[in-house]
Structure 1
């Protein structure tokens, strides 16, 4: 067990640490953080549990707030070129395909849809050589006043000036620092896939009764799609649902919903229950820090999970530049002060949007759809401004 207090930071020595900052996790949060720290002049190494790069075979939408953050580390233009520009934003429709609302992008910056594997490749390419270490799953860690010691599953040990957990939803570091944190099932389960066809060039999300379906164009004529259905947690029957059975569950939806499902290779469809956890009281623990989903896992309803992880990376680098290498614990604490309130609000809003979108009562869904049609564009813009322009 790590020798660290979950309530108070440890005292720091006023000397420049010679050991690198260790990052546990090589996903979007970990890689973006490593890049931002390296560009700020700090030694940072990202350690990934998997032996090979294995990003989920699905798409992701990057909102203007993430793209603005990526500008800081020189990656925004490369990602725009590699992605699909959703210039019309995201339209919400009913199961007949009739528009209920339009969530236009703001700040003259369209949403960018990109394959997760391509985003991962671009992030890896921006790292300093030799600073991404696959096959290094974190097993334990210890914290001292002047650094940390990390032990990997291989029993290899390494020293660092600090440890950043970017391990995601099931962070080992968080489970040891905040053992009371419990995952919350959102009440619905999700399938994701990429279809080798593109019947429409706009992003849509269709809201039904206890179900939802999203369509997101990708470069190269492909389409990222996701399907959500209200269900009990860990429903064994749904976990074994075939592609044809899933398509049949959406037969009452407008085209091309069922066609997209049927055209996707069955072994490429990903199924997971949707979970998050309630906002936690602390991100920084002396020389140990939680970021990304390890700190603020959220449901996907606002499309902000990866976006907030990227914001984290840039914010942390700015804090480190302000406090310098000898002030690492102070920088971690400043990061917590800057990020905890915003991410908690987004976690809560995202969960609330999911409850509305997944309503299972037909009468309430009828009222919901009517309310969406009547919502003024100015109200929608105000909501998006909170997400996309946090300044």
Structure 2
């Protein structure tokens, strides 16, 4: 067993790993640069693979208490005409919730392990462990260090240098409206733009927009609601009803979408997980799920490790193929959804309407399931409405 682990970052992956290791009796310290867990961010969807990790962490019921179970997702064109619908049942269900609510669930039972307003300043690997210097000047030694510090990872920079981030070609705007959402998760495809509306618990709606714009444009936060409305001015269906509720003082998060692709995620006793290792586009809603899968697999290997570098290398070997597959599929879907040329969009929409439902289900099931070797053996799976289905693991 690894004697102690420093986790840099108290996001979804970092807290997930802290839960996995703490429950196995491994001494864990989490450091986080912000002063406290604040209700920042917007919404997200946890699909079946993420829910199965939450089940294994003993936090499934807590997630279901704060989340909104989803039965299906619907894809339409900009006018609101249906292109394709998908049930979440085949892949183990789904739940929508605010990112802050998920972080609060993952932080349960970890108050002593999380140290806020603290960053990693330096690290040095030795045969005995990793010597680290923190922002308060204190020095410590850990058996392993894990960077779960997101797209702009300090651990990645310290260990692997300045790794370039690839701009996907589009930017997102995310917000939460104080009104009940549609009956299912909805995404509308327009000309180089997409609009998503997802029901949350408590009579709220998570909304997002993606648009093809140049990277790094000047941004005035006060003008973001107007940007959203401008990008969606030609959307029909239920879109105008929801966009009318987007007020000038509604907080909107604007983010250029980037990917990270690394030749290695682990070096000696230091490893990366989640966005720090493989930030991906949000088109499949799998960013949080991949971080949670990473956390579970890495936790399993660290708690049983007699040789930490070998355990971290094994974690990378087990995860890389699956993550690459999801990252590639998400990138492709984004390119299709962001098409601008009229002829290509017409062909795309026809193809989506004619695609057999069984094919869509198989595709979703393949992406939202995890492989057996990396995530474990037989267990009971959470069902689509929050129950459990007692059948063998098919990950």
Q: Please show how residues 1-391 of structure 1 align to structure 2 within 5 Å.
A: 18=3, 20-87=4-71, 89-107=72-90, 109-127=92-110, 129-179=111-161, 181-236=163-218, 241-265=223-247, 266-278=249-261, 280-323=262-305, 326-390=306-370, 391=395
Query: Residues 6 and 28 of structure 2 are in contact (CA less than 8 Å); yes or no, is this contact kept in structure 1?
Result: yes
Q: Tell me the CA shift for residue 245 of structure 1.
A: 4.2
Once the two structures are overlaid, the 10-residue window that deviates more, 264-273 or 343-352, is 264-273
Match of 2:40, SS state, is coil
The alpha-carbon distance between structure 1 residues 262 and 269, as it changes in their structure 2 partners (threshold 3 A), is: farther
With the length of structure 1 as denominator, give the TM-score of the two structures. Answer: 0.90
Question: CA 1:363 to 1:40, structure 2 compared with 1: closer, same or farther past 3 Å?
Answer: same
Query: Counterpart of 1:125 in 2: which secondary structure?
Result: coil
CA distance in 1, matches of 2:313, 2:122: 22
Q: Which whole-Å CA distance do the structure 2 matches of 1:131 and 1:106 have between them?
A: 36
Give the CA deviation at 1:285: 0.9
Contact map agreement 1:244 1:262 (CA 8 A) in 2: no
Unaligned stretches of 5+ residues in structure 1: 1-15
In structure 2, relative to structure 1, the CA distance for the partners of 1:17 and 1:296 (3 Å cut) is: closer
Q: In the TM superposition, what whole-angstrom CA distance separates every residue of 1:112-149 from its partner, at most 9, and x where no partner exists?
A: 0011111111111142x400111111222111111112
Cα separation, partners in 2 of 1:298 and 1:199, compared to 1, 3 Å: closer
Return the offset for 1:181. 2.3
2:76–2:189 CA contact under 8 A, matched in 1: yes
Query: For structure 1, which segment, 375-384 or 314-323, has the greater mean C-alpha deviation from structure 2 after superposition?
Result: 314-323
2:91·2:365 contact (CA, 8 Å) conserved in 1? no
Cα distance in 2 for partners of 1:177, 1:137 equals 15
SS at match of 1:22: strand
**Equivalenced residues, count:** 370
| Cα distance in 2 for residues equivalent to 1:364 and 1:372 | 12
SS of residue matched to 1:248: helix
Is the 8 Å Cα contact of residues 243 and 261 (structure 1) preserved in structure 2? no
| Rounded Cα–Cα distance in structure 1 between residues aligned with 2:118 and 2:50 | 28
CA deviation profile, 1:278-321 (whole Å, cap 9, x unmatched)? 3x221111110111111111000111000000001111122124
Contact 1:211 1:227 in 2 (8 A): yes
In the alignment, structure 2 segments of 5+ residues that lack a partner are 371-394
Normalised to the residue count of structure 2, the TM-score between the two structures is: 0.89
